Amino acid sequence: MPLYLTDEQQMLRDTARDFVAEHAPISHMRSLRDANDATGFSRELWKQFAELGLTGILIPEADNGLGLGHVEAGVVLEEIGRNLSPSPFLTTAVAAVEALKGSPHAVRWFPGILAGETVVAVAIDERGKHDGKIAMKAERAGNGFRLTGAKQFVAHGHVADLLLVAAATDHGTTLFAVPTDAKGLTADPQRLADSSLAARLSFDGVEVDADAVVGEVDQGDGHLARLLSAGRTGASAELLGVGGGAMDMTIAYLKERKQFGQVIGSFQALQHRAAHLYSEMEVARAAVLKAQQLLDAGDERAANAVSVAKAMTGLATSLAVQEGIQMHGGIGMTDEYDIGFYMKRARVLAELFGDTNFHADALAQAAGY
């Protein structure tokens, strides 16, 4: 598999780059934050994503989507990351679509996603860090189930139209599609470090029909694995955009900022640091593209490649935003200058669906350590 984009994928990248840069630049995020926007993203912008067909990238052609793959979804997410654009694209058009694909729920929810009218939130985590453990219980009640427990860090969980909830059943894990107006369900939105909103969800005996099960009872691991692989690879692509945006801004600053009568980019020490950063970002980019290609091919090596991609982008993007703050000097610490926003978004994305240490441990266990 060549580690570069095809002509068609480059055309998609150009379209996404122009669209996001024009309609959702950093100033868009800043305006939502300054207005203390209670939704956390623009629903009008979400419909514009749909009008371009972007929300249907991973939806099969048989369901009226574009039937493309994770490489193409990553192309869009990288531009979202580069512009720090608040959007439900990762959770709805990537993670949720992969989980619902092939199930009866696809018929119910894909049209709304294609139209930019539906937002889906993923309720997986229950602790301060993602650890893959699920304590939430789903007990049989009548013709359905009763869900009891809590979830944390549910992006868009307070405004979503549908929740995908993982819960422990008698003999395994089951994934449920839960309507957000279900009785006994409460959402407490909290603002994160990057000014985005995520909810703490409380399920106090929430009753759902048997039809809410995605896939088979006790057999939710497959759907959950698809959701997580798509989410992790997508988050890695968005991290690439965050790191790339921070790097581009920093290099531009090195070329214009003067000290002692010359641009600071002429100093060899800073050139070495910039070259190191560029190399690390390129290594991470190759890891992400490999993971996307293996996922699209259904290759059994995809699971390890996804962990490599998430771990590598966590490290490379952390370096990019830290070097960005350092090389901008004092103005890098001010709210008026945008470079600090990249560090905050990188911090949240690095934790989403497992941080670098989580995935390094997963790779070590897979290797028998």
**Each residue of 98-120: pLDDT tens digit?**
999 999 999 999 999 999 999 99
Which part of the chain has CATH 2.40.110.10? 123-218
* Global pTM value: 0.96
Q: What is the pLDDT of residues 210-220, one digit of tens each?
A: 999 999 999 99
- Residue 81 clears pLDDT 90, i.e. is over it: yes
Residue 144 in contact with residue 210, Cβ under 8 Å?
yes
The whole-number average pLDDT for the span 274-285 is: 98
Structure tokens at 160: 């979503």
- Residue 1 clears pLDDT 80, i.e. is over it: no
DSSP class of 12: H
Question: What pLDDT shows up at residue 267?
Answer: 95
Q: What is the pLDDT of residues 290-325, one digit of tens each?
A: 999 999 999 999 999 999 999 999 999 999 999 999
Q: Which of 32-36, 127-131, 179-183 has the lowest mean pLDDT?
A: 127-131
Question: What pLDDT shows up at residue 111?
Answer: 98
Q: Which CATH number fits domain 221-367: 3.50.50.60, 3.30.70.141, 1.20.140.10, 1.10.1370.40?
A: 1.20.140.10
Which part of the chain has CATH 1.10.540.10? 7-119
* Topology adopted by domain 123-218: Butyryl-CoA Dehydrogenase, subunit A; domain 2 (2.40.110)
CA atoms within 13 A on the CB side of 341: 23
Question: What pLDDT shows up at residue 114?
Answer: 98
Question: What pLDDT shows up at residue 186?
Answer: 98
- Residue 132 clears pLDDT 90, i.e. is over it: no
Q: What is the pLDDT of residues 196-233, one digit of tens each?
A: 999 999 999 999 999 999 999 999 999 999 999 999 99
**How buried is 135 (Cβ within 10 angstroms: 0-12 exposed, 13-18 middle, 19+ buried)?**
exposed
H/E segment holding residue 165: strand 162-169
Residue 124: band (very low, low, confident or very high) from pLDDT cuts 50, 70, 90: very high
d(CA 304, CA 298): 13
- Residue 3 clears pLDDT 90, i.e. is over it: no
Question: What pLDDT shows up at residue 16?
Answer: 97
Q: Which overall architecture, per CATH, does domain 7-119 show?
A: Orthogonal Bundle (1.10)
The whole-number average pLDDT for the span 23-37 is: 97
Residue 32 in contact with residue 95, Cβ under 8 Å?
no
C-beta neighbour count of 175 within 10 angstroms: 29
H/E segment holding residue 137: strand 137-141
Q: Is 325 left (phi over 0), alpha (psi -120 to 50) or beta?
A: alpha
Residue 270 in contact with residue 327, Cβ under 8 Å?
yes
- Residue 364 clears pLDDT 90, i.e. is over it: yes
Share of the chain above pLDDT 90, in %: 98
- What is the distance, to the nearest Å, from the Cα of residue 284 to the centroid of all Cα atoms in its chain? 16
d(CA 327, CA 252): 11
Structure tokens at 230: 């798509």
- Residue 2 clears pLDDT 80, i.e. is over it: no
Residue 350 in contact with residue 314, Cβ under 8 Å?
yes
The whole-number average pLDDT for the span 165-188 is: 96
